[in-house]
Structure 1
Amino acid sequence: MSTTAEASQGRMPRQIPYIIGNEACERFSFYGMRNILVPFLISSVLLAYLPDQAAREGAAKDLFHSFVIGVYFFPLLGGWLSDRYFGKYNTVLWFSLIYCAGHACLALFESNATGFYTGLFLIALGSGGIKPLVVTFCGDQFDQSNKSKAKVVFDAFYWIINFGSFFASLLMPLVLRSWGPAWAFGIPGILMFIATFIFWLGRHKYVNVPPSRGNDPDAFLNIVRSALLGKGFGPGTLVAAVGMVGAAAMLLLWALKFAGVTIWPEAWGFVITACLALGAIIAGVGFGASLQLERARGLHPDAAIEGVRSVLRILIVFALVTPFWSLFDQKASTWVIQGKAMVIPHDLWWWPSWLVKDATQMQALNPLMVMLLIPFNNLVLYPALRRMGFNVTALRRMGWGIAISALSWIVAGMLQLQMDDGQQVSLAWQTLPYLLLTFGEVLVSATALEFAYSQAPMAMKGVIMAFWYLTSTFGGLWVLLTNASVRDPAVIGWIQAQGWTENAFLMFFFAGFAFVAALAFALYARTYPMQDNYRTAA
């Protein structure tokens, strides 16, 4: 396989269509199964043991967000294997085959819990394993001579993700409704196989940045280790130790329940506990290393140390984005359940009754609006703001995106209040919160693809993209933690005493959570030093 490719001055790399085509089919396969998962689980025999509809809805939401947590946790594994051993191309290809096997399990074991949940695990592993790599692999095809084309491709990349997601979100609920789960999960599996084949076809044209294979003495973790341990202990070493001991204590307290000791909250299962432990390790080691990074000076080149400093700054940005994902991912769980309780307005002349027959299909609004908003923002909104004297930086776009997403949940909460008062609410009203959430998503997520790649040093791009996707894992964690807390009888009693329902309370709670995060993001962004880490032209 070729490891180099000529970069035409200022021209688009000819291998990009293979990566974009792969992404379109893979996104159809992923969103095709993801967006029907909650309604399938609620009505399936897999949750038939639960006594009532509310319990099945709660269990379906927990399963869905646990799956999402897995999808966005495994990028750590994919990024590590790629950077250290196999390179991006090989890692993407092998994890894609695991991905295909997971889809096959969903189609074959719709009524078998072991088989179906194994399929979800394999999809989480395969999808997560390739997730940090495809974007960075795409970025590797550019250098300083044509980096101006990278922004166009990153936007096109995000646009094509939503192209696949749109058709999957629109069609798969109809397939589930008319043909059953075997076809509804089988068709996305076929698309994943096609995605893998398209990616393989471009194998002789790619630029392949070789992996470090563990031989880089100035890798991210080596510099962090030197900062913490290289010249004796310091305050940062203590902070890192507290984080790691805290993580071990959480896992131990959780495990004690098997010995009949219930110190750890019963509602906090393994997924919540493991995520909290991971967060403690990242926070402790990251903050500890930042306190004494200068101790690595002399043991590693200055440029590598500054690269680690950049990564640690990026992790703070990422942490402040996690509340956004707690809102965004619930459009496939909380908003679907809300939509099922609404009235489909078949009597309205403009409602496409011939196509939209299920509330689950409202999720198609999100990718459709993304495809419209990205060109609108780039061609109309951003140029207009620049002419008015506003500097539309990446961090400003992300901060506003978090706040606008919070506003979408206020609108959803107001709709929920009307439903809780016994009013019949048209499903068409969900269009407004979807529009606001999608506008926020474009400002946050599409911008972050370019931001994360440009800020990460070349040797650390795979790892930093894995950390970016990990923000969704912690977004799912906030959902599971909040849902588990609200189900406590004392909390439910307090909510009801205020005249609220659980659903309405949660919607306004998450809106407030995101508003606080947007404010903190804006304050941090004011002092963030931007970097330029595109590959130097050959």
Structure 2
Amino acid sequence: MSPKTLTAEAVTTEAKYPRSIPYIIGNEAAERFSFYGMRSILATFLVAQFFNPTLNPALQTVAEAKANESTHFFVTLAYTLPFVGGLVADWFTGKYRIILYISIVYCLGHLCLAIFDNNLNGFILGLVLIAVGAGGIKSCVSANVGDQFDKSNQVLLSKVYGWFYFSINAGSVISTILIPWVYANWGAKWAFGIPGLLMALATIIFFLGRKKYVRVPPGGINKNNFVFISIYALFNLGKKQKGQSWLDVAKGEYNSEKVEGVKAVYRVMAVFIFAPIFWAMWDQNLSEWVLQAQKLDRHINLGFTSFTILPGQVQTANPIFLLSFIPLFTYFIYPFFDKIGIKATPLRRLGAGLALTALSFVIIAFVQQNVDNGGHPSVWWQIFAYVVLSAAEVLVSITGLEYAYTQAPKSMKSTMSAIWLLTVAAGNLFDALINGNISEGGFFARFTGASYYWLFVGICIAFLVVYLFVAPRLKERSYITEPEKEDIIAQTNNL
């Protein structure tokens, strides 16, 4: 056995989990329960309580469009704010303070939902506060996990992140089963109140671990960042010389390596520009698909037992399939294609993911056509669409995060993660604008029923065609296989 192996084994044996980890994972599980639990009934509640309480069939299309508009605007805000939250934490407050303080705002938002279940303005205030809470801490919580580790226990980091993401999906699965049942049997106050209690529990759990966290202090405003460099370059385009990148004009004012890092970010953004259409379609499974599920035959017969599921419970299929598909794709599907000579590169995975996303909506469109014609199709067809959509999520979402990590230099990895979240916001903003236009009788009002889903199939295919043309021409550089200059120097000094 080599000395290196012995050393690695010794480190593994001696490595201990940070004492703060149970508090962070417990906090995340409770927070995700509260977020997904509330969202699992949001669209159906808005229709039934505020937009069409009399269940007038003539008002249903507009009511559903208004509910979808509100839901997607909420998600847009929740996924835009992580960029701001990350900057505030890094520059001014540190991660601990912003997570604790914003969690209190989060709790107040849930309280508003429970109190103002008969007051639309008060309810919307609650949604805004929850979006501020969820968005403000989203970019800080996962980074806070990494902060708890040092050289003595970094070998355990991947295992802890595994438990961290398990807690996210566990919270999601449990809440999307439980909260729709609570709503159906106990009403809105309890259905929104229980997620609020879980968020309060999440905040208490996080506070109890306050003396055990490793707290990385804020570093102050660093001018060598993506925003400042980009703005400077835009306002000084007149200084650009022939053959230069438009960002090269910033090199005299900013660190040259950081400017090169910003260039890498824009190269990745050339790929990320195709992600919003995926999120515009994926996020409909938590709103439009739930409303569709109300009109389906939701009786499940498994032979040994049978039961009827609620509309908000159907979406539980997504995290279940997702957890199953991650190892399937990682250990079987990708290696299979590599073995037959079709390398499963990130760009190919993203393209395949867009194709499957369109296919999932083809299934949903046919289901809706049946509903439009007076049919009552089985919910199994929607579950089949979830199978396809979950596979697309593995190909797009997980690959996108991997691509952001490998194609961005160390100094820009946090920026890339925030920009990836902004693609979610952009997709939901598109959904909100489409549904707002429908509710106001605008151009897209003609796209209702099945034609609404066919509209998105067409848009996705158009994006896919452009992607197939652009992807082969994109320049790539892996910062894993081609380290940055500063990393090479550091490695040389350690020899």
| Cα distance, 1:140–1:390 mapped onto 2, change above 3 Å | farther
Q: Distance in 1 between matches of 2:41 and 2:77?
A: 18
Q: 1:514 — aligned with what?
A: 460
Q: 1:358 — aligned with what?
A: 310
Identity %: 38
Retained in 2: the 8 A contact 1:173–1:360?
Answer: yes
Q: Tell me the TM-score normalised to structure 2 length.
A: 0.84
Alignment of 1:128-277 (within 5 A): 128-141=135-148, 154=161, 156-214=163-221, 216-229=222-235
Q: Distance in 2 between matches of 1:399 and 1:96?
A: 37
| Cα distance, 1:150–1:412 mapped onto 2, change above 3 Å | farther
Q: 1:531 — aligned with what?
A: 479
- 1:210-249 Cα deviation digits (max 9, x unpaired): 43311x232323322432345855699xxxxxxxxxxxxx
**Is residue 464 from structure 1 mapped to residue 416 from structure 2 by the alignment?**
yes
Q: 1:446 — aligned with what?
A: 398
Q: Distance in 2 between matches of 1:392 and 1:145?
A: 35
1:292, distance to aligned residue in structure 2 (A): 1.3
Q: Distance in 2 between matches of 1:396 and 1:433?
A: 22
| Cα distance, 1:514–1:23 mapped onto 2, change above 3 Å | farther
**Is residue 295 from structure 1 mapped to residue 249 from structure 2 by the alignment?**
yes
Q: Tell me the TM-score normalised to structure 1 length.
A: 0.78
Aligned-pair RMSD on alpha carbons?
3.3
| Cα distance, 1:351–1:227 mapped onto 2, change above 3 Å | farther
Q: 1:239 — aligned with what?
A: none
- 1:139-197 Cα deviation digits (max 9, x unpaired): 44567998776666555544432221111111110000001111111111121122223
2:35 to 30, 36, 46: 30
The code of the aligned residue for 1:109 comes to F
| Cα distance, 1:93–1:104 mapped onto 2, change above 3 Å | same
1:369, distance to aligned residue in structure 2 (A): 1.2
Q: Distance in 1 between matches of 2:162 and 2:356?
A: 20
**Is residue 88 from structure 1 mapped to residue 88 from structure 2 by the alignment?**
no
Q: Distance in 1 between matches of 2:162 and 2:354?
A: 19
Q: Distance in 1 between matches of 2:188 and 2:300?
A: 25
SS of structure 2 residue aligned to 1:413: helix
Q: Distance in 2 between matches of 1:330 and 1:367?
A: 15
SS of structure 2 residue aligned to 1:529: coil
**Is residue 397 from structure 1 mapped to residue 402 from structure 2 by the alignment?**
no
Q: Distance in 2 between matches of 1:217 and 1:490?
A: 44
SS of structure 1 residue aligned to 2:431: helix
Q: 1:422 — aligned with what?
A: 374
Q: 1:124 — aligned with what?
A: 131
Q: 2:7 — aligned with what?
A: none
**Is residue 305 from structure 1 mapped to residue 268 from structure 2 by the alignment?**
no
1:449, distance to aligned residue in structure 2 (A): 3.5
Q: Distance in 1 between matches of 2:442 and 2:344?
A: 46
1:48, distance to aligned residue in structure 2 (A): 4.4
Q: Distance in 1 between matches of 2:304 and 2:191?
A: 28
SS of structure 2 residue aligned to 1:515: helix
Q: 2:291 — aligned with what?
A: 337
Q: 2:269 — aligned with what?
A: 315
SS of structure 2 residue aligned to 1:36: helix
2:320 to 340, 347, 368: 368
Q: Distance in 1 between matches of 2:151 and 2:278?
A: 32
| Cα distance, 1:231–1:170 mapped onto 2, change above 3 Å | closer
Q: Distance in 2 between matches of 1:519 and 1:204?
A: 53
Retained in 1: the 8 A contact 2:107–2:200?
Answer: yes
**Is residue 476 from structure 1 mapped to residue 428 from structure 2 by the alignment?**
yes
**Is residue 102 from structure 1 mapped to residue 109 from structure 2 by the alignment?**
yes
**Is residue 57 from structure 1 mapped to residue 64 from structure 2 by the alignment?**
yes
| Cα distance, 1:143–1:376 mapped onto 2, change above 3 Å | farther
Q: Distance in 2 between matches of 1:142 and 1:120?
A: 35
Structure 1: unaligned runs, 5 residues or longer: 1-7, 237-289, 496-500
| Cα distance, 1:491–1:133 mapped onto 2, change above 3 Å | same
1:387, distance to aligned residue in structure 2 (A): 3.9
Q: Distance in 2 between matches of 1:37 and 1:507?
A: 20
- 1:233-273 Cα deviation digits (max 9, x unpaired): 5699xxxxxxxxxxxxxxxxxxxxxxxxxxxxxxxxxxxxx
The code of the aligned residue for 2:145 comes to C
Alignment of 1:69-88 (within 5 A): 69-88=76-95
Retained in 2: the 8 A contact 1:102–1:123?
Answer: yes
1:528, distance to aligned residue in structure 2 (A): 2.4
The code of the aligned residue for 1:406 comes to A
Q: Distance in 1 between matches of 2:121 and 2:330?
A: 47
Q: Distance in 2 between matches of 1:150 and 1:456?
A: 21
1:62, distance to aligned residue in structure 2 (A): 1.3
Retained in 1: the 8 A contact 2:38–2:195?
Answer: yes
Structure 2: unaligned runs, 5 residues or longer: 1-9
The code of the aligned residue for 1:98 comes to V
Q: Distance in 2 between matches of 1:108 and 1:213?
A: 39
1:477, distance to aligned residue in structure 2 (A): 1.9
| Cα distance, 1:29–1:294 mapped onto 2, change above 3 Å | same
Q: Distance in 1 between matches of 2:16 and 2:420?
A: 26
| Cα distance, 1:426–1:350 mapped onto 2, change above 3 Å | farther
The code of the aligned residue for 2:104 comes to L
Retained in 1: the 8 A contact 2:100–2:203?
Answer: yes
Q: Distance in 1 between matches of 2:346 and 2:340?
A: 17
Matched positions, count: 469
Q: Distance in 1 between matches of 2:232 and 2:53?
A: 54
1:296, distance to aligned residue in structure 2 (A): 1.6
Q: Distance in 1 between matches of 2:336 and 2:283?
A: 31
Q: Distance in 2 between matches of 1:390 and 1:149?
A: 33
Retained in 1: the 8 A contact 2:77–2:132?
Answer: yes
Greater mean alpha carbon deviation, residues 519-528 or residues 115-124 = 519-528
Alignment of 1:489-504 (within 5 A): 491=443, 502-504=448-450
**Is residue 44 from structure 1 mapped to residue 49 from structure 2 by the alignment?**
yes
Retained in 1: the 8 A contact 2:180–2:313?
Answer: yes
**Is residue 435 from structure 1 mapped to residue 381 from structure 2 by the alignment?**
no
